[in-house]
Chain A
Amino acid sequence: MNRFSRQVNVVVIYILVSVVVGSYIYEVFGNKNPCLQCFLQRFAMLSVAAGFFLNVRCGIRLGHYAVSYFSALFGGTVSLRQMLANYCATTPSLLPELGIPLYTWALIVFASTVLGISILLFLTRPQEVDTPAAKTPLWEKLGILYLIVVIVMNVYSAYSLCGLGIVCR
C-alpha cells in the first residue's frame, strides 16, 4: 500500500507543479503581472508539493501530510479571500479560463488537494514505519527536478516584480 501511496504522491507533485507552470505561462504570454495574493497562492501550491516531496524523499509519515494539509488550507483561504474581494468588484475578473477566473480554479485545486490528502491518510497506517526507497526511480527524480526548477522560476519572477519589498508591480 505504501508503494501505491508513494506513486500517488509523485503524481500529485507533477499535477500541482504543472498548475503553477500554467499560471506562469499566463504571466509570460498574457503579459499579466501576478499580484501578492497570486504569489501567495503559487507559494501555497508549491508548499503542498513540498509536503508530498517529503513523503517521496524521506518516507511516508503523517507529519509530512500535515505540511501539505496546512499549505492547502492556507492557499484555499487566500483564494477564497481573493474570490470574495472580486465578487463585489464592478470590474470583470481578469484571466477567466473556461469561464472561471484563475483564483476560483486555485480554490478548486486546493479543495481537491484536501480531499486527496484525506483519502491518502485513510490508506496510511501510523504504526507502519515507512523507510524511503533505496533507489529512486527516474520519474521521481524528474518530478523533484521539475519542482526545484519551478521554484527557481518563481524566485526570479518574485525578484523581478516585487524586488525585496512586499509591493509587487
Chain B
Amino acid sequence: MVLGLFAVLLVAILLILMRLRVVGTALLLANLVFALGLFVYNILSATLP
C-alpha cells in the first residue's frame, strides 16, 4: 500500500516528464485521495474496537 503510493508518484512524475501533463496531474490527485483514504483507515483502525 505504502509502496504503491511512492510507485504511483514516480510514474506520475515520469508521465509529466514525457509531457503527458493531464494524465500525470490526474494520477497525482488520485494518489493523494488514496493517501487520504489510507490515513482515515489508519485513524479508524486505531480508534475503533
Contact = CB atoms under 8 A, between A and B. Distances in A.
B1 A165 contact: yes
B9 A47 contact: yes
B28 to A, nearest CB: 6
Interface in B12-42: 12-14, 16-17, 19, 21, 24-25, 28-29, 31-32, 35-36, 38-39, 41-42
Contacts of A131: none
A43 B24 contact: no
A117 interface: no
B17 A144 contact: yes
Contacts of B36: 74
Chain A interface extent, by class? 35 or more
Interface in A30-51: 36-37, 39-40, 43-44, 46-47, 50-51
Contacts of B19: 58
Contacts, number: 94
Given A47-B28, A58-B21, A74-B32, A163 B3 contact: yes
26 contacts: A36-B38, A37-B39, A39-B2, A40-B5, A40-B38, A40-B39, A43-B2, A43-B6, A47-B9, A47-B28, A47-B31, A51-B28, A54-B16, A54-B24, A54-B28, A58-B19, A63-B25, A64-B25, A67-B32, A74-B39, A151-B13, A154-B6, A155-B10, A159-B3, A162-B2, A166-B41
The secondary-structure label for the interface of chain A is helix
A147 B13 contact: yes
B8 to A, nearest CB: 10
A158 B3 contact: yes
A57 B1 contact: no
Interface string A43-75: 110110011011001100001100100110010
